[in-house]
Amino acid sequence: MVDLQQRLDQFLAEHDPTTTGAREFLGAQHDAGLAWVHFPDGLGGLGLSRGRQAEVDERLEAVGAPRPDVGRNSIGLGMAAPTMLAFGTPEMQRRHLRPIFACTEIWCQLFSEPGAGSDLAAVATRAVPDGDEWVVDGQKVWTSGAHNADFAILVARTDSSVPKHAGLTYFIVDMTDPGIEIRPLRQITGEAEFNEVFLSGVRVPDRNRVGAVGEGWKVATTTLNNERVAIGAGNDREAGQIGPVTERWRRDPSVRTPGNHAELMQWWVRTEVTRLAGERLRQGLAVGQPGPESSAMKLAFAQQAQQVSGFALELAPEEGLTYHDWSMVRPETGSFLGHGPGFRYLRAKGNSIEGGTSEIMRNIIAERVLGLPPEHRPDKGIAFKDVPR
Amino acid sequence: MTDLLYTDIEESLRSSVRSSLQRSLDDGLAARLYDEPDTDVGPLWRGLAEQLGLAGLLVPERLGGSGAGPREAAVVLEELGRSVAPVPFLTSAVIATSALLSAGDEEFLPVLSAGERTAVLVLPWTARRGAWAAVDGAVGPVAGAVGADLFLVPEQGEGGVTSLRAYEADDVEVEPITSLDMTRPLARVATRGQGAEVARGAPAEAAVDAALGAGQALLASEQLGLAQWCLETTVEYAKTRVQFARPVGSFQAIKHRLADLYLLLVNTQAAARYAAGTLADDDPDQQVAQSLAQSFCSDAAVHAAEEALQLHGGIGMTWEHPVHTRLKRAKSDQLALGTPERHRDDLADLVDLPAP
């Protein structure tokens, strides 16, 4: 049994968090097995239960240690790393996990396509074998942070003669490779946080394949379940959209009306209860992978973010009529909370679409958690090439 | 952060309570109590108390109890809520017992632990922690008074000081009230004579608040169990009921409502476990947890029962189908120990979000 506090004592004695640079500190934290304690020894962890990471994080937070930049590298930290741990080769794990944690490698996710959003298994981007390489052609969309990314996780079709889920393969792509073109995709907020990514004859070595050929759906499901945990995960009380609203309420008596108070308390309760449910899910994960239950947290998060951010505009109506800036920028980090209430309201509209729509989340819960009969699927059992599109 | 999961011991307690209820509680009893309110449900409770030690679950071993805590009591209430069991576990073994434990009683607790007698805290069933008044004359509606042996009454003593007094059944008048939920019948209670003082002044007030706080924290688990029964029963029905040549559960409109209900229950479970856990740990956040749980779980249980009724179609409206017994309990539970709206008011003060 590892004495975690003792290990932290030793680590902090050797690496002064106040004088060590973020990258160096995080790299050393990874090497000490304190990055993800539930990962194996040598890969940033100690083989402990997932729940014990909180002990590490609390301790490091208390001493003001540098933290991984979740805003810039949420895909790397929240999705690429756990997927690589579950399905990657040992070489891949040694090559990428440390730089992901230290945020010296920024990642993005090449999943969605114009014709395959919620129906993710319908991706048409092709990967064709050529010697010990694959040649990738296609178009992706809604790629957050592609303009900052060093690497990407990619789902591509490697066999169109089998039903859609069976013909997919999962790869790691170097975003500096020739044939990759990134175009900003301007959104409802005015910003271009997302991108379109065009792949033309991109050559990916076979050693960058994650999981077996044709097993891409299984690998992607692991990524998506982790994504839903990451999106739905609250941290502290009043984190998220409720935070600016409660802050305003305490600071500014002019917003306090009886109607607003009743609504505020409704949202406070729902937000807090969902935070506890997320905490309960994390406690229950232990060493296992998140399952379809994580869809429920993602669904709850989206509902609340949208309704609370809408309420925030009504709370201070004169301010709600203004907007911070409509000029197009390509932000460094994705943030749901940046700028003013108008931005938060508009940005939150994406929460029920990105990472799987709320309608798809409900289908997943109904079929995979509650065991209700599946939807009628006309594409079931039919080769992908024969499915009408 | 308090532990929000269930231990193996709690899971084994759950399966003991569930199998015991399956053996001893007949399906039709809850509905029968509306037609025959005088049905003797005493043997059901004595059986559970004897076999599983439920009466003394929260009482320390040295006073004859089993020395378990609120987390275990919460699991028992989940099971009792599922089956709307007409037993005085919440009113006697949780609320009245918590008052006696807080008051440092050693006289009544050993007898209560043995399951031979039951006790009741005599306050309106709508009272909540920090919002109750000493009893002056007759009081109602009181839950758990019908069939109780020991009546704990917070009264105004000499000089306006609160006195928590114990009365024997012979010294009280219990007048049953036809209740919305006949599985937890209500009554008006009037006392005669002086009774015996259990606590006086601040300790008496603290005992009543501790009792109501424990009730609020753990009622949430009863509401959780009830809501889970509603979801599970409705999911089973939706898988088997065929309309338009398909199980109704394959219609997306039905699936999405059940998925939303599942999400509501995931949240209800977290709120209920947090209330039980913080009570068990004597966590400083326990009052927030209790008002949070009552704000959320009360409405959730009512919504679950209403959804179950609607999604069962016509059969849900019948006396023969058990869903009505859950709706009546859920709606009554929502009003018990403080409505959600009043708990949101309490919460506003606790978390510094003051009303205008």
Among B229, B347, B349, smallest CA distance to B292 is for B347
Q: Do A365 and B269 touch (CB under 8 A)?
A: no
Inform me whether the C-beta atom of residue A235 falls under 8 Å from chain B C-beta atoms: no
- Over residues A330-369, the pLDDT tens digits come to 988 777 787 899 999 999 999 999 888 999 999 999 999 9
pLDDT above 60: residue A231: no
pLDDT tier, A229 (very low <50, low <70, confident <90, very high otherwise): low
- Over residues B196-251, the pLDDT tens digits come to 999 999 999 999 999 999 999 999 999 999 999 999 999 999 999 999 999 999 99
Inform me whether the C-beta atom of residue B239 falls under 8 Å from chain A C-beta atoms: yes
- Closest Cα in chain B, distance from residue A172 (Å): 34
Searching chain A, which residue's CA lies closest to the CA of residue B296? A269
Q: What percent of chain A has pLDDT over 90?
A: 74
Q: Other C-beta atoms within 10 Å of B159: how many?
A: 6
pLDDT above 70: residue A286: no
Inform me whether the C-beta atom of residue B348 falls under 8 Å from chain A C-beta atoms: yes
Give CA separation, B57 vs A283, A324, B104, B114, B246, in Å. 26, 59, 17, 10, 47
- Closest Cα in chain B, distance from residue A64 (Å): 21
Inform me whether the C-beta atom of residue A378 falls under 8 Å from chain B C-beta atoms: no
Of B249, B263, B271, Cβ closest to residue A373: B249
Q: Is the dihedral of CA B323, B329, B332, B333 positive or negative?
A: negative
Overall average pLDDT of the B189-202 stretch: 95
Overall average pLDDT of the B250-264 stretch: 97
Residues 6+ apart with CB under 8 A from A3: none
Q: Do A372 and B256 touch (CB under 8 A)?
A: no
Q: Give residue A376's pLDDT.
A: 80
- Over residues A170-210, the pLDDT tens digits come to 999 999 999 999 999 999 999 999 999 999 999 999 999 99
- Over residues B91-148, the pLDDT tens digits come to 999 999 999 999 999 999 999 999 989 999 999 999 999 999 999 989 999 999 999 9
Cα–Cα distance, B311 to B347 (Å, whole number): 34
If one compares A224 and B112, the residue with the highest pLDDT of the two is: B112
What is the b/e burial string over A192-227, where b = at least 16 CB atoms within 10 angstroms of the residue's CB? bbbbbbebeebebeeebbbbebebbbebbbbbbbbb
pLDDT tier, A212 (very low <50, low <70, confident <90, very high otherwise): very high
Q: Give residue A119's pLDDT.
A: 86
Q: Do A276 and B271 touch (CB under 8 A)?
A: yes
Inform me whether the C-beta atom of residue B262 falls under 8 Å from chain A C-beta atoms: yes
Inform me whether the C-beta atom of residue B356 falls under 8 Å from chain A C-beta atoms: yes
Helix H or strand E segment including A298 = helix A294-315
Which residues from chain A sit within 8 angstroms of residue B250, using beta carbons? 372-376
- Over residues A14-58, the pLDDT tens digits come to 999 988 999 999 999 999 999 999 899 999 999 988 778 888 988
- Closest Cα in chain A, distance from residue B235 (Å): 7
Q: Do B266 and A293 touch (CB under 8 A)?
A: yes
Q: What angle do CA B43, B326, B244 make, to 5 degrees?
A: 130
pLDDT above 60: residue B330: yes
Q: How far apart, in Å, do the first and last CA atoms of chain B sit?
A: 32
Q: Give residue A295's pLDDT.
A: 81
- Over residues A72-129, the pLDDT tens digits come to 898 999 899 999 999 999 999 999 999 999 999 999 999 999 988 888 899 999 999 9
Residue pair B262/B231 in contact (Cβ under 8 Å)? The answer is yes
Q: Give residue A337's pLDDT.
A: 80
Q: Give residue B188's pLDDT.
A: 98
Strand partners, B354: none
Of B4, B239, B348, Cβ closest to residue A283: B4
Q: Do B259 and A250 touch (CB under 8 A)?
A: no
Of A250, A297, A373, Cβ closest to residue B247: A373
pLDDT tier, A230 (very low <50, low <70, confident <90, very high otherwise): low
Q: Do A372 and B354 touch (CB under 8 A)?
A: no
pLDDT above 90: residue A10: yes
The rounded radius of gyration (Å) of the Cα atoms in chain B is 20
Q: Other C-beta atoms within 10 Å of A314: how many?
A: 13
Domain locations in chain B? Answer: 208-350
- Is residue A263 part of the annotated active site? The answer reads no
pLDDT above 70: residue A287: no
The pair of structure tokens assigned to B217 is 């924290």
Q: What percent of chain A has pLDDT over 70?
A: 96
Which DSSP symbol is given to B156?
E
Of A54, A272, A366, Cβ closest to residue B259: A366
Among A175, A287, A293, A182, smallest CA distance to A232 is for A293
Q: Give residue B87's pLDDT.
A: 97
- Over residues B271-310, the pLDDT tens digits come to 999 999 999 999 999 999 999 999 999 999 999 999 999 9
Q: Do B263 and A249 touch (CB under 8 A)?
A: no
Q: Give residue B284's pLDDT.
A: 97
Q: Do A376 and B271 touch (CB under 8 A)?
A: no
From A227, A279, A319, A375, the catalytic residue: A227
Which of the following CATH numbers is that of domain B208-350: 3.40.50.150, 3.60.10.10, 1.20.140.10, 1.10.110.30?
1.20.140.10
- Backbone dihedral angles phi then psi of residue B247, each to the nearest 5 degrees: -60, 135
Q: Give residue A97's pLDDT.
A: 97
pLDDT tier, A272 (very low <50, low <70, confident <90, very high otherwise): very high
